[in-house]
Amino acid sequence: MKRILFITLIGFLSFFDLFTAVTLEINPNNVVYNYFYPSYIDPENPGAQPILFWLTAINEGNEDITNYEIRLGFQWRDILLVDNAIIKPQPGSIYYVFEVNETFSLSSRDIILAEDTGDFYIEEGFEFDELIDANDEFKDLVLELGYFPDGDYIFSVQLFDENGYEISQPAIFTFTIITPTSITLISPGNPVGPSITNIADSNPYFVWFSNMINYEFRLYELDREITDPEDIELQYEPYYEDFVYNNLVYSYPPQAPPLRDGNIYGWQILADVVTPMQTKEEKLKSNIHVFRISLQEGTDPLKQLLINFFQQINFEGIEEVLQMLKQGYSLNKITWMGEELGVEGLNDLLRQISAGDKEIKSVIIE
C-alpha cells in the first residue's frame, strides 16, 4: 500500500513539475491605443505588422522539451474571435528543442507571421478572415469604421506538450482602444474672435473635456488682439508649457511665469494620438481660447468661473444673468441638486454637461 501511494505521489509531482516547466512573460502586458487597423494583425500584410509585445519563455523544468505547441487566443470584450490557433517549431530549427534553463523570445510579429520566419509551421492558423467573420457585431463595426472598435482586446499565449498538457500558465497581452474625441476648451476665456473675456485671477483653473489620457498644456502671451487663431501658433512661441497626466483640470502653478495684469493670453490643449505603428508624430489639438488678466475688476475666481460657465451653456435669460454678474451683483453660493458647489464642483459639472452626461433644464436666480 505504501509503495502504491509513493508511486502515485511521484506521478503527481512529475505532472506538477511538467505543468510549471515553462514561465511565460509578456512585455508590455497592457497598452492603450486610439486607433488599431486590421492590417496590424493581417498575415497577408507583413509590411504593416507592428511589434505589439515581446513574449519571453524560460524552461525552468528538469528536462528538455520537444514537439511542444504554442496556442493562441484573441478576444474582443467578452467575444472570442480566435480560439486555439496553434503554431509548432519546425524540426531542426533553433526552437525545436527547448532545453533546460534555456530562454527564447518572440515578438508579436514573429507569432502572427510564424510561417514566414521558417522556424515554425502552422497547425491551426490565426486566420484573419475567420477573425473578422467570428462575430457579426464586430465585423459590421470594422467594415463601418475601417478600424477596430473601442473596447478591450485580449491576446493569450500558452505552451502545451505533445500530449496536450499545459506546460505553462497563459501569458496575456491586453490592449484597449479609445477612439479620441475632440478636445473642447471650457474655461477660462472664449474662442479667438471679436471679444475677449476678462478674468480677475492670475492663477486660474484651466478646464477642458476629452476622452484622451495625457495632455500637453500650452499658454501663449499675446502682444495684441488676434482675429485668426492660426496666427497665434505661427507667430508666437509658447509662453509656458506643461504636461497634464490623466486629468481634465489644470491649475496654473505659482512657479510658472506670472500672468501680468492687462495682458492677453491664449491657451490650448494637445494630446498624442497613439497607434501601434507610429510612423509620424500625430497630435490632437483643441482650438485656442483667449482671455485678458484684469485684476482691478476685483472679480473673485468663483464668480469669474460662473461667468465662463454660463457662456458655455445656453438657457433662456442667459444675457440678463451675465449682465447682472458683470455689473457687480454679489454671488453668495451656487447649488446643484441641493448641494453647494465650489470651483472644483463647478468645473466637474461643466465637464459632465460637455460630455452629455448631464443637462441643465433651468437656472434660478434668488
Question: Which of these, 327, 325, 199, lies nearest to 267 by C-alpha position?
Answer: 199
The lowest-confidence range among 118-127, 178-187, 285-294 is 118-127
Measuring CA to CA, which residue among 198, 266, 282 is closest to residue 232? 266
Give domain status of residue 26, yes or no: yes
**Which residue, 123, 137, 117, is CA-closest to 84?**
123
Give which of 89, 288, 294 is closest to 183, Cα–Cα.
Answer: 288
Both 219 and 70 in one domain: the answer is no
Q: Among 72, 26, 74, 76, which Cα is nearest to 52's?
A: 26
Strand, helix or coil for residue 320: helix
Range of 216's domain?
184-354
Residues 158 and 210 in one domain: no
Q: Are strands 334-336 and 197-199 parallel, antiparallel or unpaired?
A: unpaired
pLDDT digits (tens, 9 = 90+) for 105-138: 999 999 988 877 789 988 886 788 888 999 999 9
How many residues in total does the chain contain? 366
pLDDT, greater one: 119 or 200? 119
Distance CA 199, CA 295 (A): 7
Domain count, the chain: 2
Which whole number is the average pLDDT over 44-68? 92
Residues 220 and 236 in one domain: yes
Return the C-alpha cell found at 171: 501569458
pLDDT at residue 311, as a whole number: 60
* SS3 assignment, position 170: coil
Note whether 206 and 325 are same-domain residues: yes
The predicted structure's pLDDT at residue 200: 81
- The last residue of one of the domains, among 155, 177, 199, is 177
pLDDT value at residue 18: 47
* pLDDT for position 8: 38
Pairwise CA distance, residues 105 & 23, whole Å: 12
* Residue 145 and residue 248 share a domain: no
Task: State what percent of residues in the chain have pLDDT above 70.
Answer: 77
- Identify the burial level of 234 via C-beta atoms within 10 angstroms of its C-beta, where 0-12 means exposed, 13-18 middle and 19 or more buried: exposed
CA nearest neighbour of 232 among 285, 294, 273, 311: 285
Higher pLDDT among residues 366 and 118, named by residue? 118
